[in-house]
């Protein structure tokens, strides 16, 4: 705490670390305590009562946020020539195959999402060790391995995001920017949380949503009371 700037100390004083805030209050507060000069991202962190080591509890999927994330994602489509124009027309930023595989092998990963057609996955597998740790590896479960590349690109551009639980049972994902209204941030949060609730494994025991917190870049985490969103998402601790 001794090294905190005066501004950060003032921010810390506005957040009660022991309190569970209503969702609407938490997103309003995260906007208030933001100290960055840029349009910082707002992230949701959800600790689930799952064991990621079990296949049926390794939660991963996608959700289309009603108001997007505030960031235009750079999309690479890996495909054969017959699908290239379809991908470009849909708004893909990069389209190709062999040249991009070579670039990725050389360390290039300056993209946000990679979409691939099923027939090129053998080649994509050559760079799996590079893409996997960066959460860029195309996967049928997230809709990024598909023949309908146009729909996949359009979904990403409209605000579709992918998420996966980490080894500690936590999902970290962006739900918008501090420039968003508190209503838009709350809407996006509810959409994500309701999606996670629908994905609850039947084998998961005890409390499913163990904790929820929201934070912007460099801001303290603000704890969210799950009971304040149960009317919309049917999520609450038992």
Q: Which CATH superfamily is 75-158 part of?
A: Ribosomal protein L1/L10, domain II (3.40.50.790)
What's residue 238's pLDDT? Answer: 37
> pLDDT-derived band of residue 231, with 50, 70 and 90 as boundaries?
very low
In the block, which residue shows the tokens 């890996």? 78
Strand partners, 7: none
Is the pLDDT reported for residue 233 higher than 50?
no
The β-bridge relationship of strands 75-78 and 113-116 is parallel
* Residue pair 111/31 in contact by the 8 Å Cβ criterion: no
Q: What is the 3-state secondary structure (H, E, C) of 163-227?
A: EECCCCCEEEEEEEECCCCHHHHHHHHHHHHHHHHHCCCCCCCCCCEEEEEEEECCCCCEEECHH
Is the pLDDT reported for residue 6 higher than 70?
no
Residue 173, both tokens: 């994902």
Average model confidence (pLDDT) across the chain: 89
One fold for 19-69+161-233 and 75-158 = no
Across the range 18-40, mean pLDDT stands at 91
What's residue 15's pLDDT? Answer: 87
Is the pLDDT reported for residue 94 higher than 90?
yes
Phi then psi for residue 210, to 5 deg, are -75, -40
Across the range 7-27, mean pLDDT stands at 82
The mean-pLDDT minimum among 3-17, 19-33, 49-63, 77-91 falls in: 3-17
pLDDT tens sequence across 96-121: 999 999 999 999 999 999 999 999 99
pLDDT tens sequence across 75-88: 999 999 999 999 99
Is the pLDDT reported for residue 17 higher than 90?
no
Of residues 30 and 226, more confidence is placed in: 30
Other CB atoms within a 10 A radius of the CB of residue 141 amount to: 11
Domain spans of the chain, in order of start? 19-69+161-233, 75-158
**pTM of the shown model:** 0.76
Give the integer Cα–Cα distance in Å for 77 and 99. 12
Q: Which CATH superfamily is 19-69+161-233 part of?
A: Ribosomal protein L1/L10, rRNA-binding domain (3.30.190.20)
What's residue 2's pLDDT? Answer: 46
What's residue 230's pLDDT? Answer: 56
What's residue 8's pLDDT? Answer: 61
pLDDT tens sequence across 30-44: 999 888 888 999 999
């Amino acid at each position: 705490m001794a090294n905190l700037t005066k501004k950060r100390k003032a921010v810390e004083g506005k957040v009660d670390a022991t309190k569970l805030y209503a969702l609407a209050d938490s997103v309003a507060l995260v906007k208030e305590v933001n100290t960055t000069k840029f349009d910082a991202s707002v992230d949701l962190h959800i600790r689930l009562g799952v064991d990621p080591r079990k296949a049926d509890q390794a939660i991963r999927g996608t959700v289309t946020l009603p108001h997007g994330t505030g960031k235009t994602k750079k999309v690479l489509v890996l495909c054969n020539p017959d699908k290239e124009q379809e991908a470009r027309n849909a708004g893909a930023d990069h389209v190709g195959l062999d040249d991009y595989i070579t670039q990725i092998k050389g360390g290039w990963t300056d993209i946000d999402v990679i979409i691939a057609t099923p027939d090129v996955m053998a080649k994509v597998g050559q760079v799996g060790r590079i893409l996997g740790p960066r959460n860029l590896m195309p996967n049928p479960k997230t809709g990024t391995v598909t023949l309908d590349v146009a729909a996949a690109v359009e979904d990403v551009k409209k605000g579709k995001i992918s998420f996966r639980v980490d080894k500690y049972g936590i999902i970290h994902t962006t739900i918008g920017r501090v420039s968003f209204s508190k209503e838009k941030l709350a809407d996006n949060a509810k959409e994500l949380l309701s999606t996670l609730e629908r994905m609850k494994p039947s084998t998961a025991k005890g409390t499913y949503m163990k904790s929820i917190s929201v934070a912007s870049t460099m801001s303290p985490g603000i704890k969210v009371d799950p009971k304040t969103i149960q009317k919309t998402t049917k999520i609450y601790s038992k």
